[in-house]
Structure 1
Amino acid sequence: MNYALLPLRIFSDERGKLGVLESYKDMPFAMKRMYYIFDTSPSFDRGGHAHRELEQIVLCLCGSCEFVLDNGSLRESVKLNSPEVGLYIGKNMWREMKNFSYDCRLVVLASDYYDEREYIRDYAEFIEFIKEIKCKE
């Protein structure tokens, strides 16, 4: 599975906490885009896609949600509920996001700019894409 939970560098003193992520030091790519997700209703799911080349790190700053990650042969569930851990999602990983708490706040750091051609939004197409990759290996 091409994902990992990354413990973040957290500095703490009487003033509070500060979390740090630096390109190529704490994350395996240089960030080209950042976006955030908030006010997501717990009754709706998000995601339901994969990226061909894009890598991401997801930070849950507040609340919680669940990621279902799938590499075409294995499915695993990861709960994000701490600003001290980031979820690295590598390329060619199907992701679904669900079970959002009302106060969930996610920040996503991405390895490249938005490109709709990068997305695979149909699960059957994703499975075929993964089969093609495995045949070339």
Structure 2
Amino acid sequence: MKKTTIDNVAIINIPKIIDEQRRGNLCVIENSVLPYNVERIYYLFDVPSDANRGGHSHIACHELLIALSGSFDVVVKDGENLKTVTLNKPDKGLLIVDGIWRELDNFSSGAVCLVLASETYDEADYIREYSAFLKSKQ
């Protein structure tokens, strides 16, 4: 696994079109917004505020996480450093590259997390034990 760090994790600004007639805003995600093609889209909702999601790393998959509604925290780790990012705006996404451990927690009531993934689901792409993740970073 390549040596990605939390410095490779970035906030992506999603283009927002503001309706001048105040009928609501529109965000557009096209291929030019992401550094990969989207192969899978899924979302998390009805997550209890005391529940944790994530708790894994990917070998190849990149993901963009967006808080479509509400808020939640994303803790990213590279084996040496960690950073917590609060997502709470539907026009900001958190790009998590391969080789980064992620944990999602502190979900607000009504939070919806949209994930745009670079790969289709493949269990072999997941590292689910933190000790195995640390070994993969050596």
TM-score range, shorter chain: over 0.9
Once the two structures are aligned, what percentage of the paired residues are identical?
A: 38
1:54 is aligned to 61
After TM superposition, where is structure 1 displaced by more than 3 Å over at least 4 residues in a row?
none
Residues in 2 aligned to 1:86 and 1:115: alpha-carbon distance in whole angstroms: 23
Residues in 1 aligned to 2:84 and 2:43: alpha-carbon distance in whole angstroms: 21
Residues in 2 aligned to 1:32 and 1:6: alpha-carbon distance in whole angstroms: 18
What secondary structure sits across from 1:21 in the alignment?
coil
How many positions carry a matched residue from both structures? Answer: 130
TM-score after normalising by structure 1: 0.93
Deviation at 1:128, TM superposition (A): 0.3
1:123 aligns with 2:130: yes
Q: Which of 5, 12, 32 is the aligned partner of 1:6? A: 12
Where do residues 96-135 of structure 1 align in structure 2 (5 Å cutoff)?
96-131=103-138
Residues in 1 aligned to 2:107 and 2:88: alpha-carbon distance in whole angstroms: 10
TM-score after normalising by structure 2: 0.92
Q: Which of 23, 36, 39 is the aligned partner of 2:46? A: 39
1:22 is aligned to 30
Unaligned stretches of 5+ in structure 1?
132-137
Bigger fraction of residues in strand = 1
Q: Which of 84, 97, 100 is the aligned partner of 1:93? A: 100
Unaligned stretches of 5+ in structure 2?
1-5
What secondary structure sits across from 1:126 in the alignment?
helix
Residues in 2 aligned to 1:51 and 1:101: alpha-carbon distance in whole angstroms: 26
